[in-house]
Chains A and B, each alone.
Chain A
């Protein structure tokens, strides 16, 4: 009896201790919410002869690895130029969408160039440089009934994914368009293939790539709605590196660097379906 009693007490104590540890862990996390590892300064990067850049390794055509194991894409093209102008080698670290902020805060990388869309929420955690790309909405529809203007959709059915900017934009600005909403992208695209709607809308880069894979469909509208910008990011407070990147973007604007980048990396994928000026940002200036 006394042995069972002892065991119970030990078990109870263990549980209490564990619960305590979990709470302590949570509390600690809140305290250290702003704590970050020390990032490298511009001089330290130059001295080490290597800049570490976080990119996507499986998001063609922005950041991917080709059959020779070399990083390629629009983001990487820019990354190579940054390294060249810093006069250092470049090391690419493959990142996932959800951990991009964490890579900067733990100073695992100097710069993130992983198709990072600028949002208010993210700007509280990292510092964004001037943008080098912009995304807006695109509309893809069957070629025989191509939609070339959003107004043509009045009274018709438009397919969107729940929680996307497309859903908010059309319900606010085009109340006469019937929206057919899906939880997943794949379901939304399948609905368009089945003819359950007249057109489908989401980020223009997404619809452009999709239209290429699916014969008989084209993107009639490739720049609509509020533009989101895509920019390089550095750790919050690494002003020196941030300023250098901003200066770099301005210098590159003079030689229309990102148009050249588009020609080399995005044009082969999007072909004539897209217009460079709807995607590319030069000198960090976005003209609405």
Chain B
């Protein structure tokens, strides 16, 4: 029984289809994560703005994104924009937009938290040594911020990768959906397929998420060594 279930993986284009699905997952995740890191840093600084109105708007944005389940955001962007503004986004663009909105909010808050966790004397010592504002941030504050930020940021990144499995609900066929299609197409003939296919998907996710945590670990060490 297991042999025939494993054979299903290599029938026709099944194995390639799974990898194509994985590529969709990676593409959506990587683009949104890259955008989230850039925009998240900006957002983190904005949240520390001196203007109360800016801080207030940031707070509203953050809470709004936090309260809304990602699925609701996906539906709002994919179906809602088409119905209200006649803006017809493809499933993939809608996914990237939603994941970027989400990632920016969360990453921004993490960045703000890390910035605030740097003791006041670090700023004051820097200024006392005659650093310019730019030098102060680049040489003193940011390296320490990044070190504190990395573990939580990696947590967010892996969470974003795994949450991409929601995009199937707006018609984007990613790796989990391809798996379900394979299982369903062979349900009557090869009942053991489900376990085999889900094991492969587990392995594929592991292959993406594990290197990321490894890289993060090394980054953390190198920043530590540098400071």
Contact = CB atoms under 8 A, between A and B. Distances in A.
Interface of A: 10, 13-14, 17-18, 21, 32, 35-38, 57-60, 64-69, 93-96, 99, 102-103, 105-108, 209, 212-213, 269
A60 B173 CA distance: 17
Given A95-B171, A213-B188, 16 more contacts: A14-B59, A18-B64, A35-B83, A37-B82, A37-B86, A37-B88, A57-B181, A58-B180, A66-B12, A68-B12, A94-B168, A103-B79, A103-B171, A107-B88, A108-B82, A213-B187
Contacts of A65: 181, 185
Contacts of B13: 67-69
A67 to B, nearest CB: 3
Interface of B: 8, 11-14, 17, 52, 56, 59-60, 63-64, 67, 75, 78-80, 82-84, 86, 88, 168-171, 173, 177, 180-185, 187-188, 191
A107 B84 CA distance: 12
Contacts of B56: 10, 13-14
Contacts of B84: 32, 35
A107 B8 CA distance: 36
Q: Which 9 A-B pairs have the closest CB atoms?
A: A67-B12, A106-B82, A58-B184, A106-B79, A67-B11, A65-B181, A68-B12, A37-B82, A102-B79
Contacts, number: 95
A65, A67, A68, A93: which has the most chain B beta carbons within 10 Å? A67
Nearest to A107: B82
A254 B38 CA distance: 62
Contacts of A95: 171
A116 to B, nearest CB: 16
Contacts of A68: 12-13
A124 B215 CA distance: 54
A14 B171 contact: no
A10, A94, A209: which has the most chain B beta carbons within 10 Å? A94
Is chain B's interface secondary structure helix, strand, loop, or mixed overall?
A: helix
A36 B83 contact: yes
Contacts of A32: 83-84
B173 A94 contact: yes
Contact of A67 (B86, B173, B185): B185
Contact of B83 (A37, A64, A213): A37
A18 B67 contact: yes
A93 B171 contact: yes
Contacts of A60: 184-185, 187-188
A64 B60 contact: no
A27 B181 CA distance: 39
A94 B64 contact: no
A106 B67 contact: no
B63 A18 contact: yes
Contacts of A57: 173, 177, 181
A88 B38 CA distance: 44
A38 B63 CA distance: 33
A68 B13 CA distance: 5
29 contacts: A10-B52, A10-B59, A14-B59, A18-B60, A18-B67, A21-B60, A32-B84, A35-B83, A58-B184, A60-B185, A60-B188, A64-B185, A66-B12, A69-B12, A93-B171, A94-B171, A95-B171, A99-B75, A99-B79, A99-B169, A99-B170, A102-B75, A106-B79, A107-B88, A108-B78, A108-B79, A108-B82, A108-B171, A213-B187
Contacts of B168: 94, 96
Contact of A59 (B17, B79, B177, B184): B184
B57 to A, nearest CB: 10
A66 B11 CA distance: 10
Nearest to A28: B84
Contacts of A13: 56
Contacts of B12: 66-69
A141 B34 CA distance: 57
A69 B17 CA distance: 7
Contacts of B60: 14, 17-18, 21
A79 to B, nearest CB: 16
